[in-house]
Amino acid sequence: MQLWLIPIFPLAGFLINGLFGRRLSKSVVSAVAVGSVALSFAWALKILIGLGDLNHAYTEHYFTWIQSGSLTINCDFAVDRLTAVMLMVVTGIGSLIHIYSIGYMAHEGGYYRFFSYLNLFMFFMLTLVLAANYLVLFVGWEGVGLCSYLLIGFYFDKKFATDAGNKAFIVNRIGDFGFSLAIFYIVKHFGSLDFGTVFGQAAGKPESALTIIGLLLMVGACGKSAQLPLYVWLPDAMAGPTPVSALIHAATMVTAGVYMTARSWPIYTHAPGAMEVIAVIGIATAFFAATIGLAQNDIKKVFAYSTVSQLGYMFVGVGCGAFSAGIYHLMTHAFFKALLFLGSGSVIHALSGEQDMRNMGGLRKKIRWTFLTMMCAAVAIAGVPPFAGFFSKDAILLAAYQHAPWMYWLGTITAGITAFYVFRAMFLTFFGKYRGQAHPHESPAVMIAPLAVLAVLSLAGGFLFKIPTYLGTVFPAMEEAEDPILMAISTFAGLFGIFLAWLMYVAKPGMADAFAGSVKGLYTLVYNKYFVDEIYDAAVITPLVEGSRAVLWKGVDAGAIDGAVNGIGARAQDVGGVLRLLQSGNIRSYATWVLFGSVLVIVAMGIAGGMR
Amino acid sequence: MNLLTAVLFLPLAGFLVALAIPRSSPQASRIWALALSLAVFVSALGLLAWFDRGLATEQFTVDVQWINSPDIHFHVAADGVSLWLALLSTFLTPICVLISWRSIQSRVKEFYAFLLLLEFGLIGVFLAQDLFLFYVFWEVSLVPMYFLIGVWGHERRIYAAVKFFLFTMAGSVLMLAAIIYLYTRAQTFNYTTILDLLSSGRLTFAPGEQMLLFLAFFVAFAIKVPLFPLHTWLPDAHVEAPSAGSVMLASVMLKMGTFGILHYCLPMFPSAARSCAPWIVILAIIGIIYGALVAMVQPNMKKLVAYSSVSHLGFVILGIFSFTQQGLDGAVYQMLNHGISTGALFVLVGLLYERRHSLEIADYGGVATAAPWLSTAFLVTTLASIGLPLLNNFVGEFLVLQGAALANFKWAVYAALGVILSACYMLWLYQRVFFGELGPEVRAHAPDLNLREWAAVIPLVAMMVWMGVYSQSFLPPVGKTTALVLEQTRINVPFQVRNGQASPKVSLEASNAR
C-alpha cells in the first residue's frame, strides 16, 4: 500500500523549499508546502479506504535500520485504527494550518524557511504515528522536537525566541532521557522493540519490570506532552509564529505523549501502579495549569496553559484505562484548540502584532468571522453540549469517576475554571470597548476558510466521529457507564464558568480587578505562574552552570589535574633543550626519547621477571 | 604488494615528493597534497569494494620479514574495524587539505608534507599486525602532529605541543616496555601468533603479570583517548592546533587509543580487562558527564568542542567495557561517528576563525543572518553531535547505551545524562554564535561558504545522514570483527585455563583450524 509515501511527500516539500526556496517565488513555495501536505492527506485517506475495517494492524517492512548481535531494528510502518485516527488528525489539521499560514506569514521574512520547517515537522509527526516499533517512533519523537525548536526560535534574532527554543529542546531532552531508558529496558526484557513482539509478550512479564517501563515511558510523555513537572517549556514556546502554536504546540506534537502511552496500553494494563501515577499527574496538571490560565493577559499564553491543562485531561483518560477517551479528547482538542490559536492568530494579525488582551476589546464587530469561529471553539472547550469538547471530556470524567471519585470532582472544578478563563479571554478580546491603538481589519479568506472548517469540526466533531466506538477493537473494553447526574454536574460547572466570566468581564467590568485585589497574595502567586521557572533556575540551572565553571573547570581541570601535571610540566622545562632540538627537526633528539624508553623497558622487564 | 600496501605507502611517497616540491611554489604543494590524498582515498575505496564482508578475520594480509633479529615483520592487514578507521583517515585528509588552502600561508610545503606523513602514520597504526611495527607507526604519527601544532598553531602552540608530546610519550614508553616484555615471553611480535598462543594455552600470564601488561597498554591508549582524568592535554592541543591539526587529532588520532584498547587490550589480556572493567566504566561515565559539564561553561569554541570530545569518547570506552555485542558495535560506530561529526565541527569552527579571526564565542552572534548555509551546515553537525535520530551519532550512542544497559542498567542511566547535557552545551553554543542580532564586526567578516569550502563540508554532512539513516552499509563488517573480539575475551581466559585445566589439545586444534 506504500505507506511510506504518506510521510515522504512532506519530506520532499521540505527538501525543495529548504534547498531552493530562497530562489522560488512565494506562490511556488506555498504551492509546494501545501500541496505536499494535501497529497499526504489524500494518500492517507486512500490507504485507509483501501484497508477497510482495519481490525488488524497492517504492517510494511522497508529495510533494516540497525542490527547488532541478536538485536534487529527495522524501519517498519504500520497502520491500525489508532494510527488511522492520528493520521487523519495530523494530515487534516496539518493541511488546514498550512493553508492558513499562507495568509498569516505573507508579510514575514523567511517565508520559505517557515514552510520547509513546517513540512519537515509533518514528515516526523507522520513517522511518529506510523512507526511499528519504539525506535522508529523515537525518530519521529525527536524529529518533531527538532522542528519545534526551529519554529519556536523562528525569529532567531530575538533572544527570547531562541531562549524559548533551547528551553523546549532541553526540557524535552529530560523527558527523552526517560523514554530512551525505557527503550533500553524493553530491549533488556523483551529483546525487541517491535510493538507486535513487545505487546504480545507483555502479559507474561513481571509487573515490576512493566511498571518501570511504564514509568520511564511516562517521563518521556511528560516532556513531550508538557505535564508536571516538565510543562515549563510549552508556555514559552508561544514565541514561535501562531500557526506553529496551533499545529505543533496544541493539535499534534504535544499530543504525542498521549498517543505513545495509549499505544503502549498492553504494558500499562499490566502495570496499574504506573497508570495510577499517570492519572494523578494528569489531573494535577489539568488543575494546576488551569489556575495559571486564569491570570494571564497574553492571549496566546492563556491558550498555552489551557493546552497544558487539556493534555492533563488526556493523561487522566489514559491513566484511568479509558484509552479511547484520551484519544477522543486528543482529536476534539485538536479541532477546538487549533481553532482557538488560529483565531487568536487572526486577532493578532488584525491588530498588527498585539497580543495583550488589555489592549483589545470590542473586536466582535470589527473582525466578525474571527469572532464567530472562535466562539464555536470556546463553547466546545467549555464542554457545552452537544459540541465536540462535551463528549470527550465527559468520557474522561466518567472514567475518572469509576477510577477514583476525587479525580472526577477535581476534573469538574477544572472544567469550570476552563470555561471561565476561555470566556474571560473571549470577553476581553471581543466585548466591551476597543482599548488599543491599531486599526483592526479582518483577515484574508485564506485564513478565514480554515477557521470555518475547524469551527464546523469543533461544533460537530464530537458526534460525527465516535472515536470510542471506532477504537473499541484496539483497546481493552471499558465498562460503559452512562451517569446522567455526573454528566449534568460537569456540564453545569462549564456553564457556571461561562456565566461567571460574563458577570466579571461584561456585566460588571470592575469586578475582576476588585476580586484580584481582595486576594492579592494568591493573585500574585498565580499571575507569576507560581514562580516555577524562577525555582528551576535557582535550584537546577544556576548551580549546575556555576558549579561546572567554578568547581569542575577551574577547580578540578585547571587546578587539580593540571596542577598535578605541572610537576611534569616543570620537568618539561628542564628538558627544554632536548625539545628545542626536536622542534628544530633534529631527528636524533627523538631517538633520545626512544632510548629513554628502552631504558625503562629493561627496568620493567627486570621487575616483571623477578615477579614471575 | 597488494592494494592495502598501496593505500599505506601512497601517503609516504606523497610525503617524499612533497618534500621535493620547491618552496617557491606553494600552490604546487597544495595541489599535490589534494591530488594525492584523493588518490589515496579512492584506492581505499577499492579496498572497501574488495573486502569480504562475510569474514571476521584479517584480510589483504601482507607479511614480509623486516628485521631478522629480533624477529620483526612488516605485517599489515585489515579487519572490519581497522578498515573503516583507515578509510576515515583517507576520507578526512583531502578535507584537511581543502580547509588549509588559504589559512596556511607560511611554510606551505612543510605543512602538506607533514599532513601526508601523518596520514601514513595513522593508516599504519590501524593496519599493523606486528606489535613492533604498530609501535613504529604509533610514534611516526606523533611526530608530524607535534610539528603541526608547534609550527602552525596559535599563540601558545609551543606549550600545547610539548604538553601533547609529553603526555603521549609517557604512555608510549609504557607500551613499548610492555611490547618488548611480550616479545621475551612469546618470542614473537606477531599479533595473530600471540593470540593463537594465548588461545591454545601455550602462552599464559600470571594474574599480576597480565594486569601489569594490560595497564601498560591501557594507560598509553587511555591518554590518547583521552580518558578522564588524563584528558587535560586535549583542550590545549585543540585550541592551539591549526584547523587541519584539530580535525586529524580529534577525528583520527583519538581513535588510536580506543582502537588500541579494542584491538590489543581486550583480546590479549581479557581477564585483566574484565576485572578492571567496573573501574574503567566509572572513569568513562565521569568523563561523559564531566566533559559535558565543563564544555558547557567554555568561552572558547574549540575548547568547548574539545571537552565535548572527552564526553563523546567516554561513550566509546563505556561501550567497549560493557563486553556486549551492542556495546562493542556501538563503540566502533561511535569512533567513526565522532570522526565525522567532531571533524566537521572543527572544520566549521575553522571556517568561522578564518572569517572573524577569533575563537571566542562572545565575539560572534547573528552569523545565521550573514552566512545562512554555513549556519545550516553547523546546525546539522550540531544535531548530529547531540545524537538526533537519522544522523550518525544516534546509532552509535543508542548501541553503546543499549550495551551498557544490558551489562548493568545503572551505567546506562548515568551515561544517558550526558545526552541531556550535550544538548545544553551545543545548543547554547549555537545560539550564541549563530542566532541573535547581527553585529557590524560579524557582518563585515562573515561571507557564506565558497566553492572550496562547500567541497569540504558536503561530504561530511552527507556521511552524517548516510551513517544515520542506513547503518547497514557500515555495521555488518564491524559486527563480525567485534563478535570475534568478544569471543576472544571469553574463550581465552588464562586464569581459568590454569585453574580449571582446560584441555589445551582442543583449543590447539581449534586454533589450527583457524
Q: What angle do CA A458, A459, A460 make, to 5 degrees?
A: 100
pLDDT of residue A574: 60
| Cβ separation B435–A70 shorter than 8 A | no
A67 touches chain B (CB under 8 A): yes
Q: Does residue A482 register a pLDDT over 80?
A: no
Nearest to B4 by CA among B53, B74, B54: B74
All residues at 6 or more sequence positions from A309 whose CB lies less than 8 Å from its CB, including other chains: A285, A286, A287, A288, A289, A290, A293, A414, A418
> Can you tell me the distance from the alpha carbon of B340 to that of B250, in angstroms, rounded to the nearest whole number?
10
All residues at 6 or more sequence positions from B44 whose CB lies less than 8 Å from its CB, including other chains: B7, B86, B87, B90, B91
pLDDT of residue B417: 93
Binned at pLDDT 50, 70 and 90, residue A609 comes out as very low
Could you write out the three-class secondary structure of A309-320?
A: HHHHHHHHHHHC
Higher per-residue confidence, A109 vs B297: B297
pLDDT of residue A480: 65
| Cβ separation A166–B428 shorter than 8 A | yes
Chain A hits for B417, CB-CB cut-off 8 Å, are 177
Digitized pLDDT (tens) for each residue of chain B, 514 residues in all: 689 999 999 999 999 999 888 888 889 999 999 999 999 999 999 999 998 888 878 889 888 888 887 888 899 999 999 999 999 999 999 999 999 998 888 888 889 999 999 999 999 999 999 999 999 999 888 889 988 998 898 888 888 888 888 888 888 888 998 998 898 888 889 999 998 888 888 888 888 888 999 999 999 999 998 998 888 889 989 989 999 999 999 999 999 999 999 999 999 999 899 999 999 999 999 999 999 999 999 999 999 999 999 999 999 999 999 999 999 999 999 999 999 999 999 999 999 999 888 899 999 888 998 899 999 999 999 999 999 999 999 999 999 999 999 999 999 999 999 999 999 999 999 999 999 888 888 888 888 889 999 999 999 999 999 999 999 999 999 999 999 999 888 865 544 434 434 434 333 333 333 3
All residues at 6 or more sequence positions from A585 whose CB lies less than 8 Å from its CB, including other chains: none
Binned at pLDDT 50, 70 and 90, residue A595 comes out as low
pLDDT of residue A458: 93
**What φ, ψ does residue A387 adopt, rounded to 5°?**
-85, 170
pLDDT of residue B497: 39
Chain B hits for A67, CB-CB cut-off 8 Å, are 471-472, 475-476, 479
DSSP B294-346: HHHT-SBHHHHHHHHHHHHHHHHHHHHTTTSHHHHHHHHHHHHHHHHHHHHHH
Binned at pLDDT 50, 70 and 90, residue A305 comes out as very high
Q: How far is B405 from chain A (nearest CA, A)?
A: 6
Nearest to A475 by CA among A323, A279, A261: A323
| Cβ separation B366–A612 shorter than 8 A | no
| Cβ separation B293–A180 shorter than 8 A | no
Instruction: Choose, out of A11, A61, A68, A74, the residue to mutate when testing the contact with B (most B CBs < 10 Å).
Output: A68
Average of per-residue pLDDT values in chain A: 88
Per domain, the residue ranges of chain B are: 275-473
List beta partners, residue A194: A133
pLDDT of residue B501: 40
Binned at pLDDT 50, 70 and 90, residue A530 comes out as confident
Per domain, the residue ranges of chain A are: 528-572, 575-612
The C-alpha cell at A471 is: 477504537
Q: Does residue A309 register a pLDDT over 80?
A: yes
What ipTM did this prediction achieve?
A: 0.90
Side-chain-side CA neighbours of A367 within 13 Å: the count stands at: 33
| Cβ separation A170–B427 shorter than 8 A | yes
The C-alpha cell at A70 is: 541478536
| Cβ separation B416–A157 shorter than 8 A | no
pLDDT digits (tens, 9 = 90+) for A321-351: 999 999 999 999 999 999 999 999 999 988 8
Minimal Cα distance from A590: which residue of B? Answer: B143
| Cβ separation B436–A593 shorter than 8 A | no
Place of cell 581486550: B266
Q: How far is A63 from chain B (nearest CA, A)?
A: 9
The DSSP H or E segment spanning B398 is helix B392-407
Rounded mean pLDDT, A133-160: 93
Chain A hits for B420, CB-CB cut-off 8 Å, are 170, 173-174, 177
Q: What is the pTM of this model?
A: 0.91
Q: For a pLDDT cut of 70, what percent of chain A falls above it?
A: 92
Average of per-residue pLDDT values in chain B: 89
Q: Considering only residues 579 to 598 of chain A, which have any Cβ-Cβ distance to chain B shorter than 8 Å?
A: 579, 582-583, 590, 593-594, 596-598
Q: Does residue A579 register a pLDDT over 60?
A: no
Q: Is the peptide bond before B242 cis (omega within 30 degrees of 0)?
A: no
| Cβ separation B398–A553 shorter than 8 A | no
Rounded mean pLDDT, A294-304: 91
Chain A hits for B326, CB-CB cut-off 8 Å, are 68-69, 71
Asked whether B357 and B425 are in contact (CB, 8 A), the reply is no
The C-alpha cell at A96 is: 488546514
> Can you tell me the distance from the alpha carbon of B49 to that of B477, in angstroms, rounded to the nearest whole number?
12
> Can you tell me the distance from the alpha carbon of A7 to that of A372, in angstroms, rounded to the nearest whole number?
34
A499 touches chain B (CB under 8 A): no
Structure letter (DSSP) for residue A478: P
Place of cell 611495527: B133
pLDDT digits (tens, 9 = 90+) for B132-189: 999 999 988 888 998 899 889 888 888 888 888 888 888 888 899 899 889 888 888 9
pLDDT of residue A479: 67
Instruction: Choose, out of B165, B392, B402, B498, the residue to mutate when testing the contact with A (most A CBs < 10 Å).
Output: B402
A541 touches chain B (CB under 8 A): no
A552 touches chain B (CB under 8 A): yes
Minimal Cα distance from A175: which residue of B? Answer: B420
Q: How far is B244 from chain A (nearest CA, A)?
A: 19
Q: How far is B396 from chain A (nearest CA, A)?
A: 10
Chain A hits for B174, CB-CB cut-off 8 Å, are 600
> Can you tell me the distance from the alpha carbon of A549 to that of A552, in angstroms, rounded to the nearest whole number?
6
Q: Which one-letter amino acid corresponds to residue B495?
A: F
Binned at pLDDT 50, 70 and 90, residue A107 comes out as confident
Binned at pLDDT 50, 70 and 90, residue A484 comes out as confident
Nearest to A85 by CA among A218, A242, A262: A262
Asked whether A469 and A53 are in contact (CB, 8 A), the reply is no
Q: How far is B389 from chain A (nearest CA, A)?
A: 5
